[in-house]
Structure formats: C-alpha cells, structure tokens
A and B are shown apart, each in its own frame.
Chain A
Amino acid sequence: MATSLQTPVAPPSTEPSLLPTKLTRARPLFDPEIVQRATRDSFRKLNPVTLMKNPVIFVVEVGAALTTVFLVRDLVTHAAGIGFEIQIALWLWFTVLFANFAEAMAEARGKAQADTLRKTKTDSIAKRVLPKGNIETVPASRLRSGDIVIAEAGDLIPGDGEVIEGIATVDESVITGESAPVIRESGGDRSAVTGGTKVLSDHVRIRITSNPGETFLDKMIALVEGAERQKTPNEIALNILIAGLTLIFLLAVATLDPFAIYAVSSSGAGHVPTIAVLVSLLVCLIPTTIGGLLSAIGIAGMDRVMQHNVLAMSGKAVEASGDVNTLLLDKTGTITLGNRQAVEFIAFEGVTEAELADAAQLSSLADETPEGRSIVVLAKEKYGLRGREIAEHEANFIAFSAYTRMSGVDIDGRMLRKGASGAIANLVKELGGRLPANYEEISDRISRGGGTPLAVADGPRALGIIHLKDIVKGGMKERIGQLRAMGIRSVMITGDNPLTAAAIASEAGVDDFLAQATPADKLAYIRREQGEGRLVAMTGDGTNDAPALAQADVGLAMNTGTMAAKEAGNMVDLDSNPTKLIEVVAIGKQLLITRGALTTFSIANDVAKYFAIIPAMFMATYPALRRFNIMGLHTPESAVLAAVIFNALIIIALVPLALRGVKYRAVGAASLLRRNILIYGIGGIIVPFPGIWIIDQILVWLHLA
C-alpha cells in the first residue's frame, strides 16, 4: 500500500473488463501434451458402459455400430455402394470420437493441473511435539487431526492446521501461484496454514486440523481433476431436454422407414432408404453438438474459475454465481481501500492550518496505523513539514487505547493529543479549556459526509479537526454500474454508523447498505433476501463470517481467512481478493450462456440438414422433391455424406468456444439475448448451408461421392 499513502487519490482502474485477459494459470488451449492425452482418452471413452451416461452420443455410437454391422454384411455379399457406406460408417465413428475428444480435452486440462499439484505433495517430514514436550520426526502422512507440530524456516508445513504460537512468513505459491510470501501468526484471522506450503523465516507451532487425504491440497487435486464432478442442476435439466429431443428425432426417423415403404410402393419408383442413410439422418438431427460439448463446457467453467485462482468446491456453486441477484460486499477492502486517509486539516478560530498540521504530524510520528501515516504524509505535502528527528527532543509517545480513544505525544512540555471528537472534547474540558463554538458542527459535517473527524488538542486548547476519509477504490463505481446492468444489486456491509455508511454508499454507487452490521445482521439480511426468492453471494474471512458464508448461495472465503470461514463457504479465493466475487459471477453467467448458445446452435443446425438429406433420400421415389435441394448438392450420396461430415466437424470446430466460453458482456438481459439469438440462433440456421455445400464440392472434387 506504499503508493496509496502518498496521495489519497485512488489508483486508476487497470481492469475495465470483468474478465481479465491475463490469467495466472492459463495454458494454451491446444497444449500438445494435453491434446495427446485427450486423443488417447477419446478412444478409451468409446466403452459403451461409460458412454451411456451421455444419451446423445451413445445413440450415435449405437448408430455407428449398426452401420458397421450392415457394412460387414454388404462387404460379404458384395453389394453396391460400398464406398459410400464405408465413408458413412467412418464419419459416424469420428462423430463419437470428436465428442469424446471435447470432453477429454476439458478433463485433460484439469488432470494436468492436478499433476502439477500432486508433485508438490512429496511426503514431507513432520516434527511432531509429544505430550511431554520432546520432538519426534514422523512422515507427514502419519499425522492426525489434533497433533501439534513445529515448523521452522525451510520446512514444508506437513498438514493443514492453525498456528497456535509464533509468527512466520510462508511461501504459499504452491496453492496460490503467488510468489510473495505471506505472514501467518497465532490468533486472529491469519492463523490458518496449508499443508505443502513452505516456511521462509521464523518458526511456528501448529495444531493439525485435518487427517491425511482430507487436506486442502487433496481436495484441490480432486476438484481440478474432476474426480468429484457431479452434474449441476442446469446441466441435468439440459440433459433431459437433449435426451428428449433425441427420442423425438428417433421417432421421426424410425417412422420414416414405414412411410418410405408406403411411398415407394405407391409411386412404384426408387427404394426404401438404407440403414446407413437413416442412421445418418438421425445422427444429423439429434443434438450431437451440444451433447458432445455439454460436459466439456461444465469442466471448462470450473477450470476458468481455477484460472482466476478461485477454488470452487462444486460446479453447482459456479452455476449459482451466475444466478446471483444480490451481492454483499464488505466495505473495507472491497469497496474502499483498506484504510481511511487524512484529506483535510480544519483549524479552529485563532489557529492557523499550518499550526494544526504541525501538531497533528507531531502527534502521529509514532503512529504506525495507516491513518496515522496518512496524517504525516498530508502535513508534509500540504505544508512541507518533514518528519523531525524525535531523538533531539524529549518525547514520550502515548499509544492509542480503546479506553481513552486517543493517542499523542508529550513533547517539549506540550501535551499533543488526537482522537475521537468526543474523547478530545472531554479532555479539553477536564483540563479547563473551552471548546470552540463550531466544534460539534464541524465534526458532524464530516460524519455526514462519510468521513471520520479526528480532533487535535494541545493541552486545554482545541486546535482543529482532521478529516479522515474512506477512499473508494478506483473503477469501483463503474463495476457496480456493470453489476446493475447485469441485474445484480450490490449491498455494502460496514461497521460504520448509518450516516457515514450512506455517504460512502452513494459515492460508490451501491444499491443498498447495511450499517453497524454485526455477523447476525448479515445473516438476517441474507435470509430476508433469500426469502424473497433472491440468490445471495458474499465474501468473508473471519470465523464470525462463517454462518453467513454457509447461508449465502455463493460464499467466497478468503484464503487468508480462518479454517472455519473456508469450510463454510463454497469457494475459496486463493488471492484473498474480495473484489473477485464480481468475476466469479461473470464466469457463472458465461458458463450458462455457453450452454444455452450451443444448444440453440445445435438445434438450429437441423434445418439445413433436412434440406440436404430428405431430398437425397427420396430423389428416386419422388423426383419432384429435387426442388428441396436448394443447396444444389451433387448426388444423394454426396449430400448425405456432406451433412454427416459437417455434423462431425462442427463439434471439433466448437471445442475452443466450449472451453473458452462465449464472450460475455455486462449488459442487460434483453440486449444480451438479442445478440446471442442473432449469432447462435439465426447464425445456427444459416451457417450449415454454406458449410454443407462446401463439403459437397470437396467430396465431388476428390471423387469420394
């Protein structure tokens, strides 16, 4: 925070977009190692037992197998049109493989990350403290919850736990990817340590809180690997939809056979479509695109959250974040910079501002709080007063105490004090001084404006008031505006009094605030919102946040927070940056949009496929249907083949989109929908026409059909 001390002007926003482009853990989309692994896996996934979980692709596999069986029969009987049949069978198998590949790609990315994590899980040695006080070394895997260990500089912390004694700097880059060391100390909200991280300096005594195999690192590995992946509610609903559509198309294609038998017999021309052609039509109609990409989208969504250094405990949590209606944001650290800063010296009558600044600076020289330092800086900047060598003087610093509510210095016989306006007023009166007439008025004015008045006195003489102000983070107002455009209400939570809170709330542009909030108030607020049908997201780090974190639909716990907080929430931010909640919401929305967009695209594609296949099927029976061949495809064989190939290739073509997600913009639902319907709905109807036409041209050119 060194920069922000120099001036109480917040740094400009560096991230105007909700989704930062630079991701700490990002890998290239087609990392060769991952592609190799995914290719291997896509063959493994051909196993019908596992494929059955994906009804759409399973139907394709059954169709491919059926076509292959008939192909073998025709090979034996030397039937005509073998070349066409071979190609259809091949492309049907490719369709299954491509769908498998999409899922395998998403999984492989997770597995690659898990491998990296697993490498750090070398079996470290723990220094266990025995009840008698002596120390024994045991493998970390033998530690149980409740054991006490010590860790010194250079040691790997053997398991998750809580610091119960001492303070140390710890390198947590294994978990967070952030190389700057962090401080862990006993007591307070920074006591949690994670197994696998490394002590850099000092030593601490730790109480182990988890058994081997259940540690944070273990959970993290399981999560990124997708081992615990369960389908989310929306994913299940979507699966029902596409399975239902598959059944409907199965009906449409299966009944086409008897319809064709009637048509052929009544017109006396042509022949009933072969199994290969019927299966082709079915495969083209059923939503293979979304069927093949659905699970990849889900896994990739989790992965994207991970790339933002947020660990989601379930896919459900990510999905829920897209649905959030209300965002509870802590004022301090999220909406405002962590600390209040001095912005103005207001001197009373008969006192110059310079005199006040001088007294304020003197009284704050030993004050290491950010507020104190900001007073020193402001005095220096405004009046050129430099920090003086205190050693020259006989100075006795009085530290702040909650009892006196003031701090200061006794120097050269002067008694300089600064503190809460009430406390200073009492002091002045006790010492026989008189308060200026506008004392109350000035401090009230500052309070109403969202600031904190800090009075300064020299013995019985009140000098003036320092205006301390909360500084709203740069870009925060824009972000909250974006949230509003997305239909999300942001609520500021603060311990400040309602006056101060209202002023900051209006400055930051939040929709509502909760002042003088206790953890119980927070919980009650969440319950009320939920009672009205809203979904609530919040961040928290302290143990007393835990109930609210558990109650919220999305609870983002800070990694620096306590174990209780981390366990109560359903996501952990490894960077401990509360603002990230906004990004998580955007990722959740993006996940849902990607699913909807690809479903729409998949269904819209069918229109063109009908135009390609139906005339091809009945060209001999009803030559009049040639009018339906609006793409002018060359032959019935090339038409069917082109549709099947397009259907297979589109899965591969959309893998990057499924993995990256559809572009998301923070705009209202109406314009978002208009845009997406245009691209994926109307686009989905149009795109296959030229696509199939081109493939048909190529097939004819290559003499394949």
Chain B
Amino acid sequence: MTTNGILQILAYFLVILLLAKPVGTFMARLFEGKRTFLHGALRPLETLVYKLVGVDETVEQRWTHYTASLLAFSIFSFLFVYALQRLQGLLPLNPQGFNHTNVSPDLAFNTAISFVTNTNWQAYTPESTLSYFVQMTALTVQNFVSAAAGIAVAIAVIRGFARQQVNSLGNFWVDLTRATLYILLPVSIVAALLLCANGVIQNFEPYTVAKTLEGAKQVIAQGPVASQEAIKMLGTNGGGFFNANSAHPFENPTPFTNFIQIILIFFIPAGLTYTFGVMVGDRRQGWAIFAACAVLFFAGVFTCYWAEQKGNPNFAKLGVETHATAGQAGGNMEGKETRFGIAASALFATVTTDASCGAVNGMHDSFTPIGGLVPLFNIQTGEVIFGGVGAGLYGILLYAILAVFIAGLMVGRTPEYIGKKIEQKEVKMAMLALLATAFAILVFAAISSVIPFNSPTKDAKGQAVAQSYWNPPGPATANFNNNGPHGFSEALYAYTSAAGNNGSAFAGINANTPWYNFTLGLAMLIGRFLFLIPLLAAAGSLAKKKRVPATTGTFPTHGPMFVGLLVGTVLLVGALTFFPALALGPIVEHFLMQDGKFFSLLAFPLWS
C-alpha cells in the first residue's frame, strides 16, 4: 500500500464524515415536515404533484397500507419499463434503430425488475440494446424513484423507532415525492453539471464512426451520459450508460470525476445515519451506526487495497516487478484503469458494494481472490456499510435489532433498542429478512452449479445449434467464464449481486440467457421485497410500543461496545451463513494461487 493510496482513502472518508451531518439534518427536517431552504423553490411543485395524482399529504398510513402503496407503485413501474423496452422500435430518440429483437422478453423482464428494485443488474449491453428514449424515460426515471422508494422505507422504519403508541408510519406517496424532489433531483442536477464540466459527455448524437490508426473502423457510442451518471451514483443504482460502466472514459474520465462519483454513493446513506439520530431524538444513536459502518468500511477497503497492491505472487516469482514504483502502480492492474490506479479502484469496488450501488470502475472478475472476496462479502452481509440509499439504513437496523436481542438479554432485561422492546414480532421479521436473502443467494447459486441443460449440438455445417431454450450454452455452469473455484465465484457473485440489489457483476459470467435472466430476476425480487416488507412490518409493530426510559440498567446503544457488537454481528452472521460457499470460491482460489495454480478460460464464446 502506498502513502498516496492511503491518503486517497482517508481523504474520501473525511469528506463523507463532514457531509453526514448537514445532509442528515436536511433530510430529518424534510421528512419531519419542516421547512427547508429548498421549500421556497420546490414547495409549489410538490403541492402540484399531490394535486395531479390526488394524494392528501396529511393522511398517514399504517404499515400495511404503506407497504401496499410501495408494492402498487413497483408493479406499475415494472409493467411500464417492460413495455417501453419491448416497444422501443415505435418510440422516438432512437438513432441506432433498436427494436424488440434487441430485447428478448426474458431480458426485458430481468431489466425491468433490475431497475425497479434499484439493482441495475445489466444482463444487456446498453449501447447495443436500448434507445436513448428508453434509457431516459424508463431507466433513468427508475433510477430516481426506486432510490426514492428506498429512502421512503428507511424513513418509515426510523419513524417506527421514533414514534410511540401510534399505528401510522407516514405516507408513502409523500415520502416518495419529497425524496425525489428535494434530495435526488437537486443533487443530481448539480452533480451532472459538475461531471459534465469535467468531461462526461451529454448529447443525443448518433454513434461516431472513427477510423483508427491501424485503419480499422471503430464505432464510438454517444448519448446523454452525465445526467444518468449523477443519479446512477447518488441513487446507488449503478446501471451504466455503457457496458464498461464507470471504467468507460465517457462516463468517468478523470480521477476527479471518480472521486465525485464515490462521494455521491455515500452521500445519502451516510447522511441517513445522522437523520436516524435526529429523528429518534438522540444523535449519539446515529453516530453509533455511522461508526459501525465506518469500521466495516475501513476493514473492507484496506483488505481489498492490500490484496490488490500485493498482487499475484506468481508474477513476482517470475521476476516481474510487482511493487509500486514511480513509473507504475505495481500490484494487480489487470482489469483496472491506469487513470485510477490501485487505490482508487479498490476504494471504488469497496464503496460500490458497501452500498448497493453496483457501478464499477474496474473488473471485479480480475481482482485477486481476496480483493474480489471483499466486494462479494460486502454484498452478502446485506450491504449495510452505509449501504444503498435507504436500504443500507434499514439493513443495519435489522442487524442492530439482532445484536441487541442476543446481547441485550445478557444485561438481564428484555432487550430494548431506542427504548423499544425487541420482542417476538421484531425478531421474527428480522430472521425472515435474513432468511430471504440467504435463500435467494444460496439456493439459486446451488441450482446453477448443477442444473443440466442440454448442450448445443453441431449441424451439418459445423454450426452450434442450441438444444435448450432456457440456457443455449448448455448446463448452467457452461456460462461461467472460468473453470474451477473462480467460475464458481462468478455464479455466486451474480446471485449475490442480484439478491443484494447491487447490480455489479464479476463480469465473467454470461448471464443473458432465459435461465439466468429469470432466476436472477427472482433473486432481485426476493432480495428487495422479502427484505423490506418484514422490516416495515417490524416498524409497524415498533411504532405501537411505548418508549421505555433509559436507565443504568439499559443496554447503552450509543457507545463503543455497541459499535463493536454491531460490527461483530454483521460479520458473524454473514460469515456463518456464507462461509462454506466462500470457502469453495475465493478462499480456496486464494490458497491455490499461492500454490501456483490457475484457472483457464472456458472454451465458450461470450454472449455479450
């Protein structure tokens, strides 16, 4: 690790630390219905929205009603995005003339779920699949509202702790509107301009055809990138305008745009920890959550950075210089952009998986086994290290409930968190949410490890003919890019990313087949809704309870001990659930790498 690299990471964290309080205070005011400095400009717009859709902003909803509103909104969004993709041939702003043949039904299904659930898993290659119109009206809109929905749920869960003896958790439509109008839109606009000013492109041009120095023809994709880039990061969406995502020079041209992008990822999630403290009336509680996230963040980023900077020992054995020198980054630069280098790539990979962002500025598939383990494990723990917008906060609150329940008994009282007794209902819901995620990751990855689809045969001319509709390449393992544990890591990562609503890919696996599109879509649905519905149910139950005043007999949830306990719970639950799978993936790969054993690419062509 280099001093420069460490300083980059520390500087990044310092900015996040400084932003948490102002951003958090603003959000707390906004969702407590107080005036903010943006109300003068945006309040008329807000009331207009309510008038147009017929929402009474003074009516509050019970948790069931709140959840139903969210589900109705999501179902509508899904149908809308699905339809637009399939109908893109009939719609404007389509200079490349894409139509429904570019988007198969299973791909459209997968993509629609992906954007509605804030996952932004991209089984398709955007620049060769979707028109500008679909990207802007279907996908970018979802980038805003799926993020806003996440924030709304987090706020509803906070209200469960903050309120006493009431049935209502707020109004979903109001929370959704406010999150979009007052937070996501203004910050995105500022960020988009900033990115634009630093070289991110923004146009409606047809693709440029260039002649390279060798005389070859090259098609260079164009598009309204900056506007989508800002919300892609801010809403922890991660769906790139281009397939190469933030590694693409038009999306992320400089180290400075790179820095802005990762700041945007934690902008809202870090602020929400402070919002939590304000709304429950004890800022220390918010800082404790922040601190736990910070500990996990540092543990991840430095492990990843260390592994990447150390690189592959087998190169060193061959006499290759792997240390950082004035002229080169050293370490493992495979799949990384030279303009970012090792530290910024490791930092980006950690941050994008701490949160459920999923944007990438390097290929996680090319990371060292341990370097790749960090993003994988980050997602498997539920992306609670600041986490996705909203999802991160309600995720870490789930762990807080568990930590308090198990350890809280050891002080000899019915466990309490923020003065609320943690009882049957809360524990049941927390376990349900954990189970759903574990199920979506492990069961689908297990089936994909063994399911035998028919392999393609060759016709008279020697052309491969697919024998299986579900998976043309043959058995599900045929889609892995590598064999051995690394291939397994690719599949495990795919389902982990889907269930965690992350959307980043290990980038090796060919996931655009009906089997993967369908199962990954299911994993996204389970990971999103079977996680947040139990949390909302728990919040509904918590809101009804009285708040027990804290005494010296109460387990203090604002000190270092609680922070340690929360960190321990996150790590232990994640490790115990996924250790067997990880042992057969990145862990054994790491040991094998040290023994000098590698895994070849499979002989199958890449689909995308």
Q: A488 contacts which chain B residues (CB < 8 A)?
A: 551, 553
A177-202 at interface with B (beta carbon < 8 Å): none
Determine if B412 and A590 form an interchain contact, defined as CB atoms under 8 angstroms apart: yes
B507-555 interface with A by 8 A CB criterion: 546-549, 551-555
Smallest CB gap from A591: residue in B: B412
- A residues 216-251 in Cβ contact with B at 8 Å: 233-234, 236-238, 240-241, 243-245, 247-249, 251
Report which A residues bind B (CB closer than 8 A). 233-234, 236-238, 240-241, 243-245, 247-249, 251-263, 266-267, 281, 285, 319, 322-323, 325, 484-489, 531-534, 588-590, 592-593, 595-597, 599-600, 603-604, 606-607, 610, 614, 618, 622, 624-625, 627-628, 664, 668-670, 672-674, 676-677, 680-681
Neighbouring A residues of B488 by C-beta, 8 Å: 259, 262-263, 266
Which residues of chain A are within 8 angstroms of B577 by Cβ–Cβ distance? 248-249, 251-252
In angstroms, Cα B82 to Cα A244, docked, is: 36
Q: Among B431, B559, B568, point to the contact of A670 (Cβ < 8 A).
A: B559
Residue of B nearest to A599 (CB): B406
With an 8 A cutoff between CB atoms, is B87 at the interface? no
Q: How far is the CB of B599 from chain A (nearest CB, A)?
A: 9
Residue of B nearest to A675 (CB): B410
Bound-state Cα–Cα, A552 to B308, Å:
62
Please report the C-alpha to C-alpha distance between residue A622 and residue B585 in the assembled complex, in whole angstroms. 11
- Alpha-carbon gap, A607 to B568, bound state (A): 12
Evaluate contact between A237 and B580: CB separation under 8 angstroms: no
> How many positions in chain B have a CB within 8 Å of any CB in the partner chain?
68
Q: In chain A, what residue has the closest Cβ to B426?
A: A237
Inter-chain contact B405/A237, CB cutoff 8 Å:
yes
Q: B362: CB under 8 A from chain A?
A: no
User: Which of B434-459 touch A at CB < 8 Å?
Assistant: 434-435, 438-439, 442-443, 445-447, 449-450
B413, B423, B594, most chain A CB atoms within 10 A:
B413
Q: Given that A241-B405, A249-B576, A252-B442 are contacting pairs, would A258 and B450 also be in contact in the complex, using a CB cutoff of 8 Å?
A: yes
Q: Among B409, B435, B485, which residue has its beta carbon within 8 angstroms of that of A244?
A: B435
Q: Is B388 an interface residue (CB 8 A)?
A: no
Assess whether B439 is in contact with A240, with CB atoms less than 8 Å apart: no
Q: Quick check: B553 and A486 within 8 Å, CB to CB?
A: yes
26 contacts between A and B (CB under 8 A): A233-B414, A233-B423, A244-B427, A251-B577, A252-B442, A254-B446, A255-B443, A257-B446, A258-B450, A259-B449, A262-B477, A266-B487, A285-B576, A323-B413, A533-B546, A534-B549, A592-B412, A596-B410, A610-B579, A614-B579, A614-B580, A622-B584, A624-B588, A670-B559, A673-B407, A681-B407
CB <8 Å contact, B583 and A628: yes
Question: Complex formed: what's the CA distance from A241 to B425 in Å?
Answer: 11
User: Which of the listed residues B410, B484, B554, B559 has the most CB atoms from chain A within 10 Å of its own CB?
Assistant: B410
Contact among B439, B552, B578, B595 for A486, CB-based, below 8 A = B552
Q: Does B472 contact A (CB under 8 A)?
A: no
Instruction: For the complex, give the distance between the alpha carbons of A260 and B405 in Å.
Output: 35
CB of A5 to closest CB in B, whole Å: 38
Majority secondary structure, A binding face: helix
Q: Report yes or no: B438 in contact with A588, Cβ–Cβ below 8 A.
A: no
Interface bits B566-608 vs A (CB < 8 Å: 1, else 0): 0010001001111111011001100110110100000000000
Cα–Cα, bound, A595→B595 (Å):
45
- B477: nearest residue on chain A (CB-CB)? A262
Q: Which residues of A contact B575 (CB under 8 A)?
A: 607
Residues on A with C-beta less than 8 A from B358 are none
Given A240-B428, A251-B438, A251-B439, A668-B553 contact (CB < 8 Å): yes
- B interface, by DSSP: helix, strand, loop or mixed? helix
| B565 part of interface (Cβ distance < 8 Å) | yes
* Bound Cα distance A247, B477 (Å): 27
- List the B side residues contacting A532 at CB < 8 Å: 546, 549
Inter-chain CA distance A443–B346, complex, in Å, is 82
- Contact A322–B484 (Cβ < 8 Å): no
**Known contacts A241-B405, A322-B412; A669 and B555 CB within 8 A of each other:** yes
Interchain CB contact under 8 A, A603 and B572 = yes
What number of residue pairs across chains A and B have CB atoms under 8 A from each other? 228
Whether A485 touches B552, Cβ cut-off 8 Å, given contacts A532-B546, A673-B410, is: yes
Inter-subunit contact A669/B549 (CB<8 Å): no
12 other contacts beyond A593-B411, A680-B410, with CB at 8 A cut-off? A241-B405, A255-B443, A258-B450, A259-B445, A259-B584, A266-B483, A606-B576, A622-B584, A670-B555, A670-B556, A672-B412, A673-B407
B571 to chain A, nearest CB (A): 10
| Chain B residues with CB below 8 A from A253, complex form | 580
Residue numbers in B under 8 Å from A258 (CB-CB): 446-447, 449-450
Q: CB of B408 within 8 A of chain A?
A: yes
Chain B: residues with CB nearer than 8 A to chain A? 402, 405-414, 419, 422-424, 426-428, 431-432, 434-435, 438-439, 442-443, 445-447, 449-450, 477, 483-485, 487-488, 546-549, 551-556, 559, 561, 565, 568, 572, 575-581, 583-584, 587-588, 591-592, 594-595, 597
Q: Which of B407, B584, B595 contacts A263 (CB 8 A)?
A: B584
In the complex, the answer to whether A593 meets B419 with C-beta atoms within 8 Å is: no
Q: CA separation between A237 and B517, bound complex, in Å?
A: 38
* Bound form: Cα–Cα A249–B431 in Å: 12
Question: Which residues of A sit under 8 angstroms from B408, Cβ to Cβ?
Answer: 596
- Please name all residues of chain A whose beta carbon is closer than 8 Å to the beta carbon of B419 when the two chains form the complex: 533
Q: How far is the CA of A353 from the CA of B555 in the complex (A)?
A: 57
CB neighbours (8 Å) of B427 from chain A are: 237-238, 240-241, 244
B576 contact set on A, CB distance < 8 A:
248-249, 252, 285, 603, 606-607, 610
List residues of chain B with CB within 8 A of the CB of A489.
551
Minimum distance in angstroms from A675 CB to a CB of chain B: 9
CB distance from B422 to the nearest CB of A (A): 8
A593 touching B595, Cβ below 8 Å? no
Give the residues in chain A near B445, CB-CB below 8 Å. Answer: 255, 259
**In the complex, what residues of B have CB within 8 A of residue A485's CB?**
552
B residues in contact with A673, CB < 8 Å: 407, 410-411, 555, 561
Known: A255-B446, A262-B477, A600-B406. Contact between A664 and B412, CB under 8 A? yes
B564 to chain A, nearest CB (A): 8
**Please, which residues of chain A bring their CB within 8 A of the CB of B406?**
241, 596, 599-600, 603
| With A325-B548, A669-B553 as contacts: A614 and B583 at CB distance below 8 Å | yes
Most B C-beta atoms less than 10 A away, residue of A323, A595, A596: A596
Instruction: Please state if A533 and B449 are interface contacts (CB–CB under 8 Å).
Output: no
Contact of A252 among B477, B549, B581 (CB under 8 A): B581
- Inter-chain contact A260/B584, CB cutoff 8 Å: yes
Pick from A254, A484, A531, A593: contact of B409, CB under 8 Å:
A593
Given contacts A596-B409, A677-B410, contact A263 B485 (CB under 8 A): yes
